[in-house]
Amino acid sequence: MADYTKEEIALILQAAEILKKNHSSLKINVSAFCQEAVISRKNAYKHKKKFDFSVSSREEKIKELEAVIEQLEHKLQLAELRAADADLYWELRNILVALNHDYKKKGPGQTPQRLRLIAAYNKISNLLGLESLSCWESAEDG
């Protein structure tokens, strides 16, 4: 009894088909091979179907894998964009916290720190397509 892997069985059956298609004088007796491998012809052909090593099959698999890779790359790009947006929103939150702290500490009026924070907020909000802050006091006093 010979020990063949499923892939080897598939390759041998495929070789038998190729020899037959090319009218080769070499022949593989599939029945004798299955008997030697202690496997039914039905199971042998199941393995052949599962492990199709033909060029067209490989090309189809390559195209399928390329499509999957393209989809994964697109999903990765979207995830990276969402992560970048999340970072920007978090930075806006930190700026608003700092503005609130500055307002509570120094009261109304424009401070240099407040002007820098407002400029930073507006720069980020423009990237995100959000409304800019025109003046911190008007939002607090109103």
What tens-digit pLDDT sequence spans the chain (142 residues)? 468 888 888 888 888 888 888 888 888 888 888 888 888 888 888 877 777 766 677 788 889 999 999 999 999 999 999 999 999 999 999 999 999 999 999 988 888 999 999 999 999 999 999 999 876 544 444 4
Looking at the fold, whether 80 and 44 belong to one and the same domain comes out as: no
Same domain, 43 and 83: no
Residue ranges making up the domain that contains 124: 76-142
Residue 64 placed within a domain: no
pTM: 0.50
In a domain, 70, yes or no: no
On whether residue 66 sits in a domain, the answer given is no
- The reply to whether 18 falls in a domain is yes
Asked whether residue 33 falls in the same domain as residue 87, the answer is no
Residue 84 lies in a domain: yes
> What is the distance between the alpha carbons of residues 99 and 91, in angstroms, rounded to a whole number?
12
- Residue 58, in any domain of the structure: no
Helix residue ranges, H only, the chain: 6-21, 30-37, 41-50, 55-106, 112-128, 136-141
